[in-house]
Amino acid sequence: MTYVDISISDIVSTPERILFQENSIPEINPTVSAAINWQQCADAVRKVASERLGVTKPGTSRIKKETWRWTNEVEAAIKSKKEAFKQWRQTRIQQDKDSYNLRKKEAKIQIAKAKQEHFEDL
């Protein structure tokens, strides 16, 4: 296996690097404490990062689940699994836990089949 040494200058183009340096690095004031200087630098980096990379809304999922391709069998399996989980949470009986685990495996199989059918069509 070969490793390649990559520096940040290889990744970021020159105009972006200049923009980052001009907008983000505040002047260090030797008369104030290191904590204040550090906070100013951290705030500047966060500001540039949010401008360049964007900000996600709190509470949103980072991965969008592709439920649009679920079939009726998948939806039924998921519903069955959820009902079994609720039943197990209420009773805490081993038999209900086994039932939930079985339905969870069945739901995973149904999802895998739906994904396979979807990607075979592509």
Decide if 103 is inside a domain. Answer: yes
Q: Check whether residue 80 and residue 111 sit in a common domain.
A: yes
Q: In whole angstroms, give the CA distance from residue 33 to residue 9.
A: 31
* pTM of the predicted model as reported, rounded to 2 decimal places: 0.48
What is the span of the domain harbouring residue 102? 67-121
Decide if 1 is inside a domain. Answer: no
Structural domain total, the chain: 2
Q: Check whether residue 83 and residue 46 sit in a common domain.
A: no
Q: Check whether residue 71 and residue 112 sit in a common domain.
A: yes
Q: Check whether residue 72 and residue 117 sit in a common domain.
A: yes
Q: Under a CB-based contact definition with an 8 Å cutoff, are residues 114 and 70 in contact?
A: yes
How much of the chain exceeds pLDDT 70, in percent?
69
Q: Check whether residue 49 and residue 83 sit in a common domain.
A: no
Tens of pLDDT along 31-72?
888 888 888 888 887 887 777 777 777 766 666 666 667 789
